[in-house]
Structure 1
Amino acid sequence: MKHLPKHLRPRWRYLAVGIKAWPDADLDRRSFQRSVWFAAQNLLGDAGSADADLSLLSFEFGDGEGEALVRARRGHAERARAALACIDEVNGDPVGVFVRGISGTVRGCEEKYLGRRRELSGERSVVFADAERAAVERDGLIDVRLDGAFAGATELDFE
């Protein structure tokens, strides 16, 4: 099947959602998605809910706190925010749902509002085991390439 031209593809907005509940609450992706659809249908009606097309892209929950990434059609972000504000329970467990922010890309939404920073890495040359070798540095950790494999090292290994 052929892809639509870029100007005909649907455009999306991504909502970063924070979730708070009691520590013993049992929430999963499926039940939260169902609650999102139910809230949108009750607030916006069948046609409005279909237009907003809310769907859950990612979901994490544990120990009473969680976060989710919800996708909505462009132009319906404020309606989606209102529908999410209507969620007060999931599977009978009381929850608090709040929108942290809205972005035009998944990556931007994750980095800016969900705290999932891009991993910074860089290549450099180091002296390891009496030879100069290529290494990849990520968040203070250094992986040195040794004959097709990597060895983990720290800054202290090079001094």
Structure 2
Amino acid sequence: MKHLPKHLRPRWRYLAVGIEAWPDADLTRRGFQRAVWYAAGNLIGDTGSADADLKLLTFRFADGEGEAVVRVRHGHVDEARAAIACVSGVDGDPVGIHVRGISGTVRACEERYMGRAGGNYEQRDVAFGDAESTAVVRGDAYDVRTEAGLVGAAAFDIE
């Protein structure tokens, strides 16, 4: 079977997606892909979702931070961005997701927008709410472990 001529092949755009969750969250590639498909189906319907053809190409997640590359058809970038923004949880873990950028090739997408997952973090003891607790520190964001679970805090909340 011969390949299609270039002008008849489908055109794609690649979305670089940043993922943030609690440090003890366990996100998988399959769970993230399912969450994106489910959000797209709910937002733009089954036919719109099939036409946009969102597909997860790369996925990395560790220690509360991750990134992914999502492929989408050329004319459906706005719908894909909206569907990705609707993802609020993956496999029962709450997540924060943002689109870092859009590119025409996977290589350009990875070179421009990727490479920050699994970044600098450290664990330290902090004073929070009149008690000594441990916290995972990423930049100026603190994830403090309390009796009720993890609590997000900023540097000025910590003593």
Q: Which residue is equivalent to 1:55?
A: 55
Q: Which residue is equivalent to 2:112?
A: 112
User: Where does structure 2 lack aligned partners over 5 or more consecutive residues?
Assistant: 117-159
- Deviation string for 1:113-151 (max 9, x for gaps)? 1138xxxxxxxxxxxxxxxxxxxxxxxxxxxxxxxxxxx
Which amino acid counterpart does residue 24 of structure 1 have in structure 2?
A: D
Q: Which residue is equivalent to 1:13?
A: 13
User: Whole-Å Cα distance in 2 between the matches of residues 36 and 73 of structure 1?
Assistant: 15
TM-score (structure 2 length as normaliser): 0.72
TM-score (structure 1 length as normaliser): 0.72
The runs of at least 4 aligned residues of structure 1 exceeding 6 Å deviation read: none
Shift of 1:2: 1.5
Alignment of 1:4-153 (within 5 A): 4-115=4-115
TM-align CA RMSD:
1.0
- SS, match of residue 27 in structure 1: coil
- Aligned identity (percent) is 76
Q: Which residue is equivalent to 1:148?
A: none
Shift of 1:31: 0.5
Q: Which structure has the greater CA radius of gyration?
A: 1
- SS, match of residue 33 in structure 1: helix
User: Where does structure 1 lack aligned partners over 5 or more consecutive residues?
Assistant: 117-159
- SS, match of residue 75 in structure 2: coil
User: Whole-Å Cα distance in 1 between the matches of residues 36 and 50 of structure 2?
Assistant: 12
Which amino acid counterpart does residue 41 of structure 1 have in structure 2?
A: G
- SS, match of residue 26 in structure 1: coil
- SS, match of residue 3 in structure 1: coil
